Amino acid sequence: MTETRTRNRRGEGARLRDEIVAGAVELLDESGDQSAITLRSVARRVGIAAPSIYRHFPDQPAIMLAVVRQQFAELEMVLRAAVEAAGPEAWQQLYHLCDAYLGFAEQHPERYRVMFGGLWKPTLGESSVTADDLATLGDATLGLLADTLQACVTAGQAVSTDPRADAVALWLGLHGFAHQRSVSAVFPWPADIAERMITALAHIRI
């Protein structure tokens, strides 16, 4: 059933847009499938008529793009908080950042799969989503990883000669582990496997 919703006052369109995105995230968390997010299902969740969505999103892929952008922003906040909560040493900040990344993937598997696992693949040219929209997704989080690794190099705690490229390699390692941990729950992962992987891929020397 459609929930009763208080109509926004004039000038509160941004509030409705946020509610639409929040409703889509709830549907994703519940179903684990982006196909469950349709204009009708989101409208029912938010408590509005489906045509009202068109004032904010031209189609379903546009809603999904907003969801993914929001989750990357959330991931960035989580990673920055982890860096700030770590000790003063750059290597500590890097390990905390990586642990926070893995924690996000474990705590929000449905969102993570949409962001990184290929669950969401908009067809370019058939929706409002463009190649430029997709090209910039995750730039801030990867940049934070590269900057933290660079700090390790500057402090003499890592011997990477190309922190940007090694940050990509480290992200691939983290992503691979996050994926395999989610699909191989009974595998006897070594307790320190994440630390071993980070140390090797980031060329940490402490």
Domains delineated in the chain: 1-57 (1.10.10.60), 62-201 (1.10.357.10)
Whole-number pLDDT of residue 125? 86
Q: Which long-range contacts (CB under 8 A, 24 or more apart) does 142-148 make?
A: 142/167, 142/168, 142/171, 144/76, 144/79, 144/80, 144/83, 144/97, 145/79, 145/97, 145/170, 145/171, 148/83, 148/90, 148/93, 148/94, 148/97
What global pTM score does this model have? 0.89
What is residue 35's predicted lDDT score, i.e. its pLDDT? 84
- Residue labelled with tokens 């705590």: 107
Q: Are 83 and 142 in contact (CB under 8 A)?
A: no
Distances (CA, A) of 133 to 41, 130, 172: 24, 5, 21
The pLDDT value recorded for residue 121 is 83
How far is it, in rounded angstroms, from Cα 141 to Cα 153? 19
How far from 174 is each of 10, 21, 64, 202, CA to CA, in Å? Answer: 45, 27, 24, 11
Q: Are 149 and 201 in contact (CB under 8 A)?
A: no
Q: What confidence score (pLDDT) does residue 7 get?
A: 53
- 10-residue mean pLDDT profile of the chain (206 residues): values are 47 82 93 86 93 92 94 97 96 98 95 85 88 92 97 97 97 96 91 96 94
Query: What single letter denotes the amino acid at residue 198?
Result: I
pLDDT of residue 13: 64
Cβ contacts of residue 169 below 8 Å, gap of 6+? 201
For the chain, the distance separating the N- and C-terminal CA atoms, rounded to the nearest angstrom, is 59
